[in-house]
Amino acid sequence: MIRHVRHHEIDKDKWNLCIKRSINGQIYAYTWFLDIVAEEWDGLVENDYERIFPLVRKRKLGIDYLYQPAFTQQLGVFSMNLLSGEVTRSFLEAIPDMFRFAEINLNTLNKVPPGFPQVEEWLTHELDLIGTYESVRKDYSDNLRRNIRKAEHNGLQVVKNIKPEEVIRIFRAHRGRSIRNLADGDYHRLRRLVYLSIFKGMGEANGVITPENELCAGAIFLKSHRKAVFFFSGVTPEARSKGAMSFLIDHYIREHCRQHLTLDFEGSNDPNLARFYRSFGSKECHYPHLVINRLPLYLRLGLKFFQTVRSIRSGISGVW
């Protein structure tokens, strides 16, 4: 039986154990992660926490709705047992009627059966690191190889365990200026999230310095369930032209090859970023992006509410 459990009623130990043992577990679904990225969240729980489904909620104009919080690419159904399209259906049908609207992402093992018309397949890229560095590198694109050589020629060096706020600072000073849906509070939550991940042994922040010892690029990686997520990054325009990010990711790959590990680039639906991620030899993977609209007709016809919801929808980290 699937039941709706309000946040204060959730047994967090059982919830986290389910995520830890899930065949499709991800770092985004741990309670400590959700507590930081979401102001309010509940859950759908099957039996004694055999399967779970986070419900990240808000209320706007008197209407309760579900959304995808910032810094979480995928949520959906997580299970310690086998998953199927019918299991996904049962959880989606169990979403309480009180939530009149939902725009959410499921995960790569959640298959949505027919009957849910507003479903899109969104894109991520993954690279298997179980082989040798040489075997992985042979699938690099020619342009990527040139960028790595360019970084080496310009005397760039990788430094490990930098302060996460340095990566955030670089991002906000450049790419972040065009990301309007991230406010100061979001960056504060991001900083807390990364520091807690590092404390738990599940995160690291690395950077690239110039010959003048100036930090010009940085990336945050989160690791969970045999997956390393390229979670957040920042790079200066000058460093971009010198191949700094290519150099930094290549260094991470070199250090983590020969491990039962997959590097998840966390996107992207942006064609340019997708091309960059594919240059490492990564493979395309898809996850469902789902809209459920139970709004009254007068609200369906009016775009104001829908646009309001979309304006607060999180940017997926892959857009960085």
Tens digit of each residue's pLDDT (9 = 90 or more) over 281-318: 999 999 999 999 888 766 665 545 554 555 444 333 43
CATH of domain 130-260: 3.40.630.30
Predicted pLDDT of residue 80: 95
Least confident of 109-113, 134-138, 280-284, 298-302: 298-302
- How many C-beta atoms surround the C-beta of residue 212 within 10 A? 7
| HEC readout, the chain | CEEEECHHHCCHHHHHHHHHHCCCCCHHHCHHHHHHHCCCEEEEEECCCCEEEEEEEEEECCEEEEECCCCCCCCCCEECCCCCHHHHHHHHHCCCCCEEEEEEECCCCCCCCCCCCCEEEEEEEEEECCCCHHHHHCCCCHHHHHHHHHHHHCCCEEECCCCHHHHHHHHHHCHHHHCCCCCHHHHHHHHHHHHHHHHCCCEEEEEEECCCCCEEEEEEEEEECCEEEEEEEEECHHHHHCCHHHHHHHHHHHHHCCCCCEEECCCCCCHHHHHHHHCCCCEEEEEEEEEEECCCHHHHHCHHHHHHHHHHCCCCHHHC
CATH 3.40.630.30 spans which residues of the chain?
130-260
Predicted pLDDT of residue 315: 38
Predicted pLDDT of residue 114: 85
CATH 3.40.50 fits 2-122+287-319, yes or no: no
**What is the percentage of the chain residues whose pLDDT exceeds 90?**
81
With a cut of 60, say whether residue 108 has pLDDT above it: yes
In this prediction the pTM is 0.90
Distance of alpha carbon 212 from alpha carbon 112, whole angstroms:
52
Tens digit of each residue's pLDDT (9 = 90 or more) over 187-232: 999 999 999 999 999 999 999 999 999 999 999 999 999 999 999 9
Average pLDDT along the chain: 91
Distance of alpha carbon 148 from alpha carbon 21, whole angstroms:
38
Predicted pLDDT of residue 294: 84
Predicted pLDDT of residue 303: 43
With a cut of 90, say whether residue 177 has pLDDT above it: no
With a cut of 60, say whether residue 111 has pLDDT above it: yes
Question: Could you tell me which residue, 304 or 83, shows the higher pLDDT?
Answer: 83
